[in-house]
Amino acid sequence: RVRGVSNNAILFVTSLLLSKLPVMLLLLTLLLFAAGPSCASNILVVLLDDVDDLPITRAKGFPNVTHFFSTNGVIYNNAFVTTPICCPSRASIFTGTYQHNHRTLDNTVLNGCDGSNWDFNVAPNSMGKRLQDIGYRTGMFGKYSNNYRGDKVPVGWDTWMGLLGNSVYYDYTINRDGKNEKHGKEYKKDYLPELIIRNGIEFMTKKNTTKPWFAFLSFPTAHEPFDAAPEYQGQYKGSKPPTVNYPSFNHTNDKGKHWYVRSRPPIDHHASKYNELGWRRRLQSLQTIDRGFLRILNAIDHKTTSIIFTSDNGFYFGEWGMILDKRQPYENTIRVPMFASGPLFNTHKGASIDTVVLNIDIAPTVLQIAQSTQKRSVNVSYSL
């Protein structure tokens, strides 16, 4: 009994509070959700295209990137993709699932690369959608799928700058938050890797928002046609891919190999020169990524931001007679660079880790960083 207050008054106030309790709880939940996950880290994923994990690629292609992660993060020495071709690998990266679950079987719409399969199995199960659902501000910049048509903004992305079609550097169209935008051949305005870096930094440094952010920067580099920025063209003269010294180099007509490998003609002088040219141009194109990554680090608080840096698949440089290609699950096409840094990796800072990791491990890692309690996928994928 409260002095000076009747029992009827107490009962009235109590019943009023109880009647409003569901509404109050709902409002509290919405306020907590709007504020975003507590103590969650900002997250950046950098995805390259067709970049192998040869030691010389690390040393010459992105030395600044390698140095940063070797001192501030971890380097995974045995990182592999489950399917060494662009669209299936990207579906696995986005969802953390194997090809037989996301059903993107190759780079065609008929077999799941964009279209209804992608809309049903990939987009709603992507890292972007899952993080958006728990209060992250999400942004995707660059190549999405090989057959993205620009007809919609996929679910899960608050800020969207998606490339229509496959990797190019000039003369392309992007869909910017629902509106298609044509670009030409002017380097300062149109060079796609630079456009991704600039827009990514703008998104990551946006003011007046309390939500943590998730940025997915997906570069065309170093996919053919290997267009380098003007300042890097002409570098690496005389450089040759180390694969020319591999036993598998120009090893053709082996009856024990896959039919496609058996069908390859021996590498002649002209094909060898083309292979070397492709190697040098890839290294040249990677310089924009290497320098651009430093600009990103200077723009964000990289000590509190979780960063994962990788590629969708590796690449051939003449192994088994295959020039500038991928697809078959030989080591150079399934082995990719995989680097990580941020609060989750601080206990292993500076480590070089030999544990085998896969591209399907990226999504569960991102969800763990974001402190998501959402149900895991059906795959045996693990956090890095």
Q: Which long-range contacts (CB under 8 A, 24 or more apart) does 62-67 make?
A: 62/286, 62/289, 62/290, 62/293, 63/290, 64/290, 64/291, 64/293, 64/294, 65/289, 65/290, 65/293, 65/309, 65/339, 66/339
Q: Give the model's pLDDT for residue 254.
A: 82
Nearest CA to 203 among 144, 161, 245? 161
Q: Around 203, how many Cα atoms within 13 Å sit in the side-chain half-sphere?
A: 28
Mean per-residue pLDDT for 316-336?
A: 90
**Percent of the chain topping pLDDT 70:** 87
Contact 126, 365 (CB under 8 A): no
Q: Give the model's pLDDT for residue 130.
A: 95
Q: Give the model's pLDDT for residue 34.
A: 36
Q: Give the model's pLDDT for residue 270.
A: 94
Q: Give the model's pLDDT for residue 382.
A: 64
Cite the active site residues: 86
Q: Give the model's pLDDT for residue 39.
A: 57
Q: Count Cβ neighbours within 10 Å for each residue of 252-275 and write b for 16 or more, e otherwise.
A: eeeeebeeebeebeebeeebbeeb
Q: Of the ranges 26-35, 84-93, 229-238, 343-352, which one carries the lowest mean pLDDT score?
A: 26-35
Q: Give the model's pLDDT for residue 137.
A: 97
Assess whether pLDDT exceeds 60 at residue 182: yes
DSSP 300: T
Assess whether pLDDT exceeds 80 at residue 8: no
pTM: 0.87
9 falls in which pLDDT band (50, 70, 90)?
Answer: very low
Average pLDDT of every residue of the chain? 87
Q: Of the ranges 1-5, 60-64, 198-202, 208-212, which one carries the lowest mean pLDDT score?
A: 1-5
Assess whether pLDDT exceeds 90 at residue 342: yes
Mean per-residue pLDDT for 255-283?
A: 90
Q: Give the model's pLDDT for residue 379.
A: 53
Mean per-residue pLDDT for 187-201?
A: 98
Assess whether pLDDT exceeds 90 at residue 264: no
Select the more confidently predicted residue: 314 or 254: 314
pLDDT in tens, 61-76: 999 999 999 999 999 9
Q: Give the model's pLDDT for residue 328.
A: 85
Q: Give the model's pLDDT for residue 30.
A: 30
Assess whether pLDDT exceeds 80 at residue 377: no
Distance CA 121, CA 98 (A): 12
Q: Give the model's pLDDT for residue 278.
A: 94
Q: How many residues does the chain have?
A: 384
372 falls in which pLDDT band (50, 70, 90)?
Answer: low
Assess whether pLDDT exceeds 80 at residue 284: yes
Mean per-residue pLDDT for 6-13?
A: 44
Going from the C-alpha of 379 to that of each of 38, 93, 96, 376, the distances in angstroms are 28, 12, 7, 8
Q: Give the model's pLDDT for residue 260.
A: 84
Mean per-residue pLDDT for 164-182?
A: 97
Q: Give the model's pLDDT for residue 329.
A: 87
Pairing of strands 351-358, 305-311: unpaired
381 falls in which pLDDT band (50, 70, 90)?
Answer: low
